[in-house]
Chains A and B, each alone.
Chain A
Amino acid sequence: MSTVIDRDAEQANQREQWEGGANIGHVVQPGELDLSHDVILYLDDITVSFDGFRALNKLSLAIDAGELRCIIGPNGAGKTTMMDVITGKTRPDEGKAFFGQTLDLTRMSEPEIAHAGIGRKFQKPTVFEQHTVFENLELAMKADKRVRRSLFARLTAEEGDRIAAVLERIRLAGAADRSAGLLSHGQKQWLEIGMLLMQEPKLLLLDEPVAGMTDDETERTAELFVSLAGEHSLVVVEHDMAFVEALGGKVTVLHEGSVLAEGDLAAVQNDQRVIEVYLGR
């Protein structure tokens, strides 16, 4: 019995400290996101092997607070695996992964990482198809997510407004009561982005967010992401170069599980090794 309750308490604690700590500034408490060095995500020498095959090979990466970073790389480069490591889905064999200065991601569970402030959009849109668009956002909403609260939870007016605002932002206000399973592919992508916004994360991980979108939708997504940067930090994995260009941030090229090149898009595109990786073989 005690284990579960302890974890509950732990999570609540963490959340409280995080919320309370946001205004305090530099007093570092355990469990609090510490951005004192302006680095929100720090990966160092991460290695992940699947049956001897190294999906990530001594990968090191640092994302600044408020940064918008694009990750590109050929299929199988390890982009999704990297996100799996950051969100706690996959444990690295070696290496360090820190959120802020103090939170060791390799020791936290998926829900704990989500509570700490990392939100993720999956490569294949996964929304709750049987639930309505509204319910999808409600479930994702930043709130006390323990059983005993969800049993008695009622939507407050303020929470209703938050959901309405996000519905506007993702242009699904008219579809709020439709089953998410009935949405188009592009709309599902937007809904998932909306779910991410409801979580109010500090760091957003977006795995191929514009796959299957029309050019128009892609453009609007780029605008949305640019507007989010600053207040949030974003890591965007994308194959669509026009989209990457529209985002305008720093670009990291992954290849065979490690960083091949880093810099602005133009520089990276002129890098001889990058050209080889994309054109060769």
Chain B
Amino acid sequence: MRTPLTVRLFAKLPRAGWAALALFALFAWVWVPVAHLALPADHALHLSSYWVSLLGKILCYMVVAVAMDLIWGYAGILSLGHGLFFALGGYAFGMYLMRQIGRDGSYGADLPDFMVFLDWKELPWYWTGSDSFLWALLLVVAVPGLLAWVFGYFAFRSRIKGVYFAIITQALTYAAMLLFFRNETGFGGNNGFTDFKRILGYGITTPEMRVILFALSAALLAGVLLLGRYLVTSRFGRVLTAIRDAESRVMFIGYNPLHYKLFIWTLSAVLCGLAGALYVPQVGIINPSEMSPANSIEIAVWVAVGGRGTLVGAVLGAGIVNLAKSWFTVSFPEYWPFFLGFLFIAVTLFLPNGVIGLWSKLRGRHAPATEEEAEPAPAPAAEPAVLTAPPTESTRGAAA
């Protein structure tokens, strides 16, 4: 007798989690719409469009952070190319947004402006169907998912791990960026896509649309958190963390890590793609700089700051770093990279378990920590020494 998945999905959340989720829902689906739409602009509690867009953008980043945490924090696979999947989701939906501009572009043509500029006469084949919303949604999931699956299959099958894997993912996103910079690639070159007008025929810059996109981002985050929670508390999640800590051991008890890694890796990429698709209409632009290696590194920094290996940590990290970033870029834009670097070093040196680790440490001093919190956050353990069989004294002599 099996309980339906949905029941189990919800049964696993502790009471504090439910309270937090309810508060979040209230904030995102009631307070923000009211404060933005209903309250007059001069009201003290009015939420400006700047804030709605900024918060909506950060919600998307939070989804990416959770996706990153699932593979880095739980499966021990550090990706420094997750910005690519995010950008691909954004581009996939951006194609639809470009088509929705219709003849309202500067050239008044059927083709997107950048194609007219390149003197193209018709849409390239891979733009086929891009005027359909559903097709766009399919691409948002399928393109990052498929790329991740193929890449992951070969990387994991060859047992590429750790730093090597991270470097290859950096190279991947860098290569994609160069490709997308080229005009001939057919995605708007270095300007990318912008000047969007409509989604499903409705104006994209209206306050209502802004609130809807915000609410959808919040829904995505809530859904991703629930899904993540289900995964990491399932047996699947326990196998993942076991792979992180002692992969060979996992193989000898009969699990095939390839399939486990591939599943979580592909899922993670798809979640990034979805986040990217919601991000693009909110910020109004997507260009190849989203694929820059630095962007992907920043994603890892969010998770490190928040505390990897806890879902809440990833969300907090993305929130803290991005709020700090938007403050910096307004006040002292030129210092942001230094601050980011400083933050990363400081966290690595003093807060190996991130903000969450600090918090539970502080709490642990007052009250006995609960089982889950007491658990030291996962530092990917080194391969057990026996598996690499260092030569012993006597054998070294024999080998010589």
Contact = CB atoms under 8 A, between A and B. Distances in A.
B336 interface: no
Interface in B231-258: 231, 234-236, 238-239, 241-242, 245-246, 248-256, 258
Given A114-B251, A177-B371, A199-B254, A124 B394 contact: no
Contacts of B381: 129
Contact of A138 (B231, B235, B246, B259): B235
A130 B252 contact: no
A128 B242 contact: yes
Given A80-B389, A122-B384, A110 B263 contact: no
Given A122-B386, A130-B375, A150-B234, A114 B394 contact: no
B395 interface: yes
Contacts of A13: none
Given A126-B386, A129-B245, A140 B394 contact: no
B252 A120 contact: yes
Interface in B111-147: none
A8 B259 contact: yes
B43 interface: no
B246 A126 contact: yes
Given A75-B392, A130-B241, A177-B371, A124 B378 contact: no
Q: Is the interface of B mostly helix, strand, loop or mixed?
A: helix
Interface in A126-140: 126-131, 135, 138-140
B375 A75 contact: no
B260 interface: yes
Interface string B356-391: 000000000000000100011010010011110101
A87 interface: yes
A135 B250 CA distance: 13
A145 B243 CA distance: 13
Nearest to A3: B153
A150 B378 CA distance: 21
A101 interface: no
Contacts of B248: 89, 110, 126
Interface in A61-112: 74-76, 80-81, 87, 89, 109-111
A115 B256 CA distance: 11
A177 B385 CA distance: 26
A146 interface: yes
B259 A122 contact: no
A260 B391 CA distance: 22
A130 B378 contact: yes
Given A75-B394, A126-B384, A151 B234 contact: yes
A52 to B, nearest CB: 9
A7 interface: yes
- In this complex, the interface size class of chain A, counting residues with CB under 8 Å from chain B, is 35 or more
B254 to A, nearest CB: 4
B394 A4 contact: no
Contacts of B260: 147, 150
Contact of B253 (A151, A154, A195): A195
A166 to B, nearest CB: 14
B20 interface: no
Contacts of B394: 74-76
Contacts of B393: 75
B399 interface: yes
A145 B246 CA distance: 17
B15 interface: no
A40 to B, nearest CB: 18
Contacts of B263: 147
Interface in B206-239: 231, 234-236, 238-239
A130 B76 CA distance: 13
A53 B399 contact: yes
A234 B393 CA distance: 29
Contact of B259 (A81, A146, A195): A146
Considering the complex of A and B, which 3 residue pairs feature the smallest CB-CB distances, nearest first?
Answer: A76-B395, A114-B254, A110-B251
Interface of A: 1, 4, 7-8, 11, 53, 74-76, 80-81, 87, 89, 109-111, 114-115, 119-120, 122-124, 126-131, 135, 138-140, 142, 145-147, 150-154, 177, 179, 195, 199, 207, 256
30 contacts: A4-B262, A7-B256, A8-B259, A75-B395, A76-B392, A76-B394, A76-B395, A80-B386, A89-B387, A109-B256, A110-B252, A114-B251, A119-B252, A122-B249, A122-B384, A128-B242, A130-B241, A130-B245, A130-B375, A131-B241, A131-B242, A138-B235, A139-B235, A139-B238, A146-B256, A147-B236, A153-B236, A179-B375, A195-B253, A207-B386
Given A124-B384, A199-B254, 18 more contacts: A4-B153, A53-B398, A75-B393, A80-B386, A89-B248, A110-B248, A126-B246, A128-B242, A130-B245, A131-B241, A139-B239, A139-B253, A145-B253, A145-B256, A150-B239, A151-B234, A151-B235, A256-B398
